[in-house]
Amino acid sequence: MRPWLIVLLPLMFRVKALSKSNVPAINDIEFIHECVEMHNLLRTQLKPPAANAQFITWDEGLAKTAKAWAKKCVPGSNTHLEQLRKSHPVFNGLGENIWTGPDNEYSATLAIRSWFSESKFYNYENNTCSGMCSHYIQLVWDTSYKIGCAVIECPSIGTVLNAAHFICNYALSGNPGRRPYKAGRFCSKCDKEDKCQDMLCSNNERERIAHYPYWYPEWEVPRPIVCDPLCIFCIVFRLFLLVVTVAIVFLLQHKFPNIRLEKDLLLAEILAQKKSEKDVESESDSIKSVVSPQNVKELAKH
């Protein structure tokens, strides 16, 4: 085998593996629909039914936060969720669910259903858990109305090799201090401004889509390079000043073609004047040396 093939083959296989990746981007429409629809579907399958569970829609900022933390490929929760403005430009204190498993077993539906399956450990009447049920509580939390999810392929996380790291962030976050929702007939305890949509409390103003094209979590590494409107204004303004400066110089040179010659003549005149002053000073020093007191005394003796 030729030596250069030994170098290129690993790269070729790596590119091929990446091209087969099933990991969707956070702006992938099918991925967004899958995450949102699965959450809303499961929120209508609660026992007892939820009377005030809110309809969930997608949030770009939450998805960016989920992606930024997933990229770290570390087990455990995001440590920045409770920090003011660290994980979202609007919401504070985000909720979070994480699923990690082999990448060949991953699907958003599977991960979200695995969180919902924790319902078997939750007792609504006593508001207690007999096992892990925190993912379930966050998924069905009544006032959570925005989600953003992301999935990243990682070489390994803990003992899982070739892992898919799937994270969803929620606003508003769940609070284990109370039951996750009010039991009752679907939509029977919605807010006055809400309407019932797919057995969930919906509100157009609450579900309004917001975009944050220039915002990224400041702790994200590597941090994306973005130029917000102020940055764009500064760049354009500097270019404008440069163009104006060049135009002024061009016009001055066109209107006063001898301006450089006049400048050179003026400079030459100044230099000549300084030289003349130096000559005068030198001549004055010579005269002073001739008529010094010692020389005067010697002349007087003669």
Full pLDDT tens readout for the chain, 302 residues = 454 444 444 444 333 333 345 689 999 999 999 999 999 999 999 999 999 999 999 999 999 999 999 999 999 999 999 998 899 999 999 999 999 999 999 999 999 999 999 999 999 999 999 999 999 999 999 999 999 999 999 999 999 999 999 999 999 999 888 999 999 999 999 999 999 999 999 999 999 999 999 999 999 988 777 676 777 778 888 888 888 888 887 787 777 666 655 667 677 778 888 777 776 667 666 665 655 556 555 655 55
Q: Which residues contact 187 (CB under 8 A, 6 or more apart)?
A: 51, 194, 196, 199, 200, 201
State the first-to-last Cα distance of the chain, in angstroms, to the nearest integer: 110
The four Cα atoms 152, 157, 161, 164 give a dihedral, to 10 degrees, of: -20
- The angle that helices 229-255 and 259-290 make with each other, rounded to 10 degrees, is 70
Tokens of 188: 């029977």
CATH number listed for the domain at residues 29-219: 3.40.33.10
For the whole model, what pTM was predicted?
0.74
Range(s) of the chain covered by CATH 3.40.33.10: 29-219
H/E stretch holding 98: strand 95-102
